[in-house]
Amino acid sequence: MNKISIVVPVYNVKESYLTKCLESIIHQTMKEIEIILVDDGSSNDSLKICNKFAEKDKRIIIIQQKNQGVSVARNNGIKISNSEYIMFVDSDDWLEKDACERLYKYKDENVDVIIGRNYVYREDKNEREEAFFRGGKINEIKNKYEIYNILLTDRKSNKYIYLATPWAKLYRSSLLKENNTCFEKNIKIGEDMLFNLDAVVLAKKIFIVDELIYNYRKHNNNTENRLKSEFKENLENTYDKLEEKCKKNKLNLVREINYYKIRGLNSIMDYCKDINTSIKEIKKITNEAVYKDAIRNIETNMLSKKRKLLVLFARIRFYLGIKLLYKIKR
């Protein structure tokens, strides 16, 4: 059995990005790896590039599927994997050359999830920054609530490691397969966070380690989902699934879920700026039950300045203030 299966979902990736990604994987210092490339119905040369790499490295397995999204691609990779641990890499990112070796050295018979640190590469500035664990701790996580809290309240600052994402982590294969832990195929926003919530609930032991092993490429396409017309509906589907999982696992995360909803409302207001939303529509959105309760109950000390103002204006029904805050025209 291999030590690590690396699952890479591939869909219409820029050639230079995909090449850099795959080069970083095949040249890992750890050789006992399995590389699973899942082409999600690409219409460009992505599959052709994958096949070229497979010709020169027999560790590469290619799965072809019709376009069904990144969650189905990752799930299909999990299904056929044959290693002790599973790692996910996005096809526009890349690994440090000894990433697998540096995470795997922390494994023992009870460690189910190992979380490393990542760089954030800002393409617009051609800069690379280190991301840190928000709590400043690098050790075994004994209190899972600490992870739940960060999963739902992380501000996605470049400064902090992205615990909600599946990359820069090792997951014990048996943990995922025996519990049928997978990505929610019908959830379009927050599917990574929900997957990690499931994994953390099930894990016997979790380590966050001081190892910079992953390069996250931040570019315009990262926010592509936000520009889709069904964005608001997708967010609300995520809230429903999150609350369902909390109820099932008896997790009291009301405070964190309120924060997550305000973060979502903030994103909706940003989206409203792009589609020129009226004050009447802003009023309707902020008074929907899903947001009204969060606005009423959120602890504002958890929020950034802009989100505090959003909550304050919504509480006093100053909808023009929200419109001006987000520079919404019309």
pLDDT in tens, 1-46: 899 999 999 999 999 999 999 999 999 999 999 999 999 999 999 9
pLDDT attached to residue 102: 96
Q: What architecture does CATH give domain 2-223?
A: Alpha-Beta Complex (3.90)
pLDDT at 135 over 90: no
The residue ranking higher by pLDDT, 210 or 330, is 210
The beta strand positions in 134-283, using DSSP E, are 140-141, 169-172, 205-218
Q: Which of 145-149, 199-203, 275-279 has the lowest mean pLDDT?
A: 275-279
pLDDT at 138 over 80: no
pLDDT attached to residue 75: 98
pLDDT at 161 over 50: yes
Question: Considering only CA atoms, which of 73, 97, 90 is closest in space to residue 17?
Answer: 90
Question: Considering only CA atoms, which of 57, 55, 10, 13 is closest in space to residue 37?
Answer: 10
pLDDT at 176 over 80: yes
pLDDT attached to residue 226: 47
Strand 60-64 and strand 33-39: the pairing is: parallel
**CA pseudo-torsion sign 11, 157, 210, 182:** negative
pLDDT at 275 over 90: no
Half-sphere exposure (CA, 13 Å, Cβ side) for 48? 6
Question: Considering only CA atoms, which of 52, 61, 66 is closest in space to residue 8?
Answer: 61
- Average pLDDT of the chain, as a whole number: 91
pLDDT attached to residue 150: 83
pLDDT attached to residue 68: 96
Intra-chain end-to-end CA distance of the chain, in Å: 61
pLDDT attached to residue 154: 65
- Taking residues 92-96, report their average pLDDT: 98
- Taking residues 294-314, report their average pLDDT: 95
What SS3 state is found at 94? strand
pLDDT at 121 over 60: yes
Q: What is the CA 94 to chain-centroid distance, rounded?
A: 16
Cβ neighbours for 330, distance < 8 A, ≥ 6 positions apart: 276, 277, 278
pLDDT at 225 over 70: no
pLDDT at 227 over 80: no
**CA pseudo-torsion sign 211, 214, 218, 222:** negative
Residue 228: which pLDDT band, with cuts at 50, 70 and 90?
low
Backbone angles phi, psi at 12, to 5 degrees: 45, 50
Local structure of residue 168 (DSSP, 8 states): S
pLDDT attached to residue 157: 45
Element (H, E) at 122: strand 111-122
pLDDT at 315 over 50: yes
Question: Considering only CA atoms, which of 107, 96, 202, 188 is closest in space to residue 147?
Answer: 202
Per-domain residue ranges of the chain: 2-223, 253-325
Residue 141 amino acid letter: I
Cβ neighbours for 221, distance < 8 A, ≥ 6 positions apart: 92
Q: Are 153 and 242 in contact (CB under 8 A)?
A: no
What SS3 state is found at 160? strand
Cβ neighbours for 144, distance < 8 A, ≥ 6 positions apart: 200, 201, 203, 206
> Is the pTM for the entire model greater than 0.75?
yes
DSSP 299-325: -GGGS-HHHHHHHHHHHTT-HHHHHHH
Residue 175: which pLDDT band, with cuts at 50, 70 and 90?
very high
The residue ranking higher by pLDDT, 28 or 226, is 28
How many of the other CB atoms lie within 10 Å of CB of 237? Answer: 17
Six-digit token pair at 15?
């050639």
- Taking residues 54-78, report their average pLDDT: 97
pLDDT digits (tens, 9 = 90+) for 236-273: 999 999 999 999 999 999 999 999 999 999 999 988 87
Q: Are 182 and 173 in contact (CB under 8 A)?
A: no
Strand 2-10 and strand 33-39: the pairing is: parallel
